[in-house]
Structure formats: structure tokens, C-alpha cells
Chain A
Amino acid sequence: MFTSNDPMTLNLIEIRKDFPILDRELRPGVRLTYLDTTATAQKPLAVINAMDDFYRRSNANIHRGVHTLAEEATTLYENARERIAKFINAESARQVIYTRNTTESINLVAYTWARANLKPGDLVILTEMEHHSNLVPWHMLQAERGIELDFIPVTQDGLLDLVTYGMLLERNPKLVSFTHMSNVLGTINPAAEMIRLAHEAGAIVLVDGAQSVPHLKVDMQALDADFYAFSAHKMCGPTGIGVLYGKTALLESMPPFLGGGDMIKEVKLRSFRANTLPHKFEAGTPAIAEAVGFGVAVDYLTNLGMDNIAAHEHEITEYALERLEEIPGVKLFGPSADKKGGVASFTLEGVHPHDVAQILDRDGIAVRAGHHCAQPLHEKFGIPATSRASFYLYNTKEEVDLLVNGIYTVKKMFG
């Protein structure tokens, strides 16, 4: 496999060979240009093969058998956890809890830690740029518990208003929960600084890392977040598996989430004792093949080097923003390239984003149109929807050019 320590030298020719789907012809003569990684990333052969191999050779349930396959499956499942823990620099793999996805990780915190610790009137601070998955669980808790919600505003250039954040922190919040990177604006929030300030104010911090872990080097020990959530499918791994990272003492103090097999140490007819970490939060047969694939996805990213990936994405994003900005009628949302990840959300004057996306699709260009599960953020900017192109380690400048040409086609049709 191609490796390099020199940023901006990802070997795109080699990398693209790792992703068979990128070669797909959607219609005769129309090859896929995949610019929708923010929704879900494509999977390299290594991941696809590892999962295939698991089902062909090693499939068995885990933690509940002494036969060879049961041992093998358990080892593969737990080894993947070790590698994921190392990837995010957690102190211990016990802090890495497998969930279904980011959404479930956030809900796990809302259902266990929050329901055990928040009382009516307690303040939870969120931001105006949250994905619905970091809004709705708190709306539900508000309805049930009478907690109070307040929001760090988003400025016109797509950054969090940190002055207001400071003022909100003076109101003694119990929890601060925010996204490390916006899936609409691309904004990379100053997570370490925000976490430090929240801790000084005595709050627990949950970070939505769905968009950051795939694209940036994240270091749990340096960041010092209490909880951190992410999904495998946005980082070259399979769907159906994600992670909740948590500080050991907090995780140990929390009640379990779902009840059932695997999460118990002992069950009596009328009672149970919960298992130790991380199994306490993993009830029932988990996504075993997916965990195996997740581990290989993390190896794949590690081999390429997260710094190289981030540098490549930055280069593509800078180029994309520059080219898009030149198109009359295109309005971009979010900060400049140096403050954001590989996301370009835009509107085109006089054309609805759905029409933009559908016409681009004729040329095989996959972008997303809609509110991207961030309706309040779109309301803030006074628009019902945007078109969003997003870039990852396998995207090229040529694909940006195809996008730009496609937008000119749209303009011509509606001109």
C-alpha cells in the first residue's frame, strides 16, 4: 500500500484503485463522481475483503463459546477495538464502546448519564450548527425532565460565537454538547479550547465527532472530552457500527443502557449485576463483522496518515471553494478553507438545490441536496436547503472541475 510522510502527496491513482465503486459506470459512458462522503464514505477493498473473509472463515458469536471459531471471532472483535482505541489515542480500549452509529452514541449518553444526572432546570448547552442527532435526544429529555437548552449562536461566516459561549458558561451548565466539525458548513470548531472552558465551568462535555474523526487526527487524551461519538461508515468502514468513547470513571458511574446478554456479569430471576467496561453497554449480539471491517478501516486510514489525508482534503477544498466562488449566482456557506474540512455547501440563484443535484446526477456527479439533517441551521441562514459537495481522500481536482462544469450546465438549462 502507498504510504507517505510528505503531506499533499497522497497517490490518488493508487488510492482510487482501492475503491472499486469509484470505477462504476452509472450509465453507459457516465462514470461516478462521488462527492457525498459527508453522508457516507466509500469503502476500500481491504474493508470489503476483511468482512467477506470473516463470514467465509471465522463467523461465530463472541464472548460465549470455547470452540475455535468463537475464540477467533472474539479476538478479531476485540482486536479491532484495540486499534480503534489507539487510533483516537484513548488510554484504554475499555473506553471504546461499540454502538450502531453516532446517533446511538449520543442517545446512550442522553439515556444513561443524562437521565441519572440531570434535574429539572439544569442547563444543557448545544450549538446552532448541530445535526439533528445532537438536538432531538435533548429535546426528548427536555420534554421528559424539564431540562433547559441554550445554544451557542453561529455567526454569518459560519463560526461559533465564542463570546456568547463564555456568557452561557456563566450560567452553570451541567453539559455542553457540540459537533467537532459541521456537516453543512464544514467548520472545524476549536474543540480543545471549548472543552477546557466547559470544564472550568464545571460542565461535562460530549463531542459529536461524526465528521472530525474521518478527516482529522483526533487525540482523546489531548482533547480531554468526557464523551466522544463517531460512526464507522463515514471513515471508510461499514454501516451499522459506531463508537462512544468515554472517560473511565464516568462510564463506570453510569447505569447501563440496553439490557440483555453480554452486558451482564450475573443474572438472577429477579436481578442482575452489570458487566465491566466496555461490555456493560453492549447488550446482545453486536455487529461483529462490522467491527472487523471497522478495525481494517482504521488501519487503512492510519497507513495513509491522517495528516496526509487532512492536507489532501484541504488542498481539494481550497481549490473547490475558489472554483465555485467564480460561478455567478453561486453562494457558498461556511468559513474559508483554512477553518473548515472538505465540505462545500452552496445555493445557485434561481435553481432549487434538488434540481441542481438531479441535473448533476445526469453526469454521474453525486452531491446531496436538502437540509442535511440540520434544519435549524438552514433556518438561521434563511434558506430551506442547500446543495452540498464533500471531499475525501479519494477525490481529485478533476472531479471538482466536473462539478463546476456540471453547475454551468444547470445554469444553462435554467438560464
Chain B
Amino acid sequence: MDDLYREVIIEHYKNPSYRGKLDPHDISFADNNPLCGDHIQIDLRVSPDGVVTDARFDGHGCAISQASADLLIESIIGKPLEEVKKLNKESVLELLGIELGPVRLKCALLSLKVLKAGVYGLQEASDSLVE
């Protein structure tokens, strides 16, 4: 619980490295967390052989949602889409390095949900997060 606001999270929230938009991009997707009004958009550039060459996120929300987005983007640049598809809840929690209750878990996973929606298309993304 005290770990929730580790310095690294506050740092990524206050000074994100990957906040912004990509124009042009190959994939773009956005979604909200209706509970708290968090909003995340993710833009990706993908090489012909399916590797993420660049990525950005934009939006607003709590420290957990914004920091996890920044960390997530950082982790996927240079990765093949096939690997991005394999990311799950645990991957995000590992990036954040904290444990989360059910309410804040939604905040943390919003960026993954958006990313997967962009990579897979809508339906499968929300399915793949339901456990």
C-alpha cells in the first residue's frame, strides 16, 4: 500500500517520456475508464515485419493510470507485435512494481486495454483482459 506512490510512479506521472501523439501512425486507439474519467490514447508505428518502431500515449487521469501508460510504452518500443500481444495483467504490475486493489487495478490496466484494442481490434482486447 505504501508502495503505491513509489517515486518512480510519481516521476513517470509528472515527467512522462512518451507522452504525445504520432503523426503519421499505423495504429491508434483510445478508451476511457468511466469510473474515474481516465482517458488514454495510444499511437503506434509498426515496421513491415511487425516490429513496434515508435509509440506514444496521450490522455489524462490518476498517477497510476498515467505512469503505467508511460512504462508500458517504454517497454514495447522495439518489440514485435506478437510479443506485445502476449502482455497481460502481470506484465503491467511487474512494470509498476506494486500490488493493487480491484479499483486501482482498472486504472493500471487501462493503457494495456487500449494497447491491445489497437493491436487486436476491439472485441478480442476486452476479452483477453477478462480472466
> Is B62 in contact with A413, judged by CB distance below 8 angstroms?
no
Identify which of A370, A371, A413 contacts B5 (C-beta below 8 A): A413
Residues of A with C-beta under 8 A to B39: 384
Q: Are B36 and A413 in contact (CB under 8 A)?
A: no
A358-B104, A369-B36 known; A352 and B61 CB under 8 Å? yes
- B20 close to chain A: CB less than 8 A: no
Q: Which listed residue, A358, A371, A413, A414, touches B37 by the CB 8 Å rule?
A: A371
A384/B60 in contact, CB under 8 A: yes
A352 touches B63 (CB 8 A): yes
| CB of B131 closer than 8 Å to a CB of A | no
Are A352 and B62 closer than 8 Å at their CB atoms?
yes
* CB of A354 closer than 8 Å to a CB of B: yes
Q: Does A385 contact B (CB under 8 A)?
A: yes
Query: Cβ of A358: which chain B residues have Cβ within 8 Å of it?
Result: 4-5, 104
Q: Please state if B35 and A362 are interface contacts (CB–CB under 8 Å).
A: no
Within 8 A of A (CB), among B85-131: 104, 107
Do B63 and A355 touch (CB < 8 A)? yes
Flag whether A359 is at the interface (Cβ < 8 A): yes
Q: Which residues of B sit under 8 angstroms from A362, Cβ to Cβ?
A: 1-2
A359 partner residues in chain B, CB cutoff 8 A? 5
A370→B35 contact, CB < 8 A:
yes
Flag if B36 contacts A385 (CB, 8 Å). Answer: yes
Q: What 0/1 readout, one digit per residue, does chain B (4-16) give for beta carbons within 8 Å of chain A?
A: 1100001001100
Which residues of A328-357 have CB atoms within 8 Å of chain B's CB atoms?
A: 350-355
Query: B107 to chain A: which residues have CB within 8 Å?
Result: 354
- Interface of B with A (CB < 8 Å)? 1-2, 4-5, 10, 13-14, 35-39, 60-64, 104, 107
Nearest first, the 4 A-B pairs at minimum CB distance are A384-B37, A352-B62, A354-B62, A355-B63
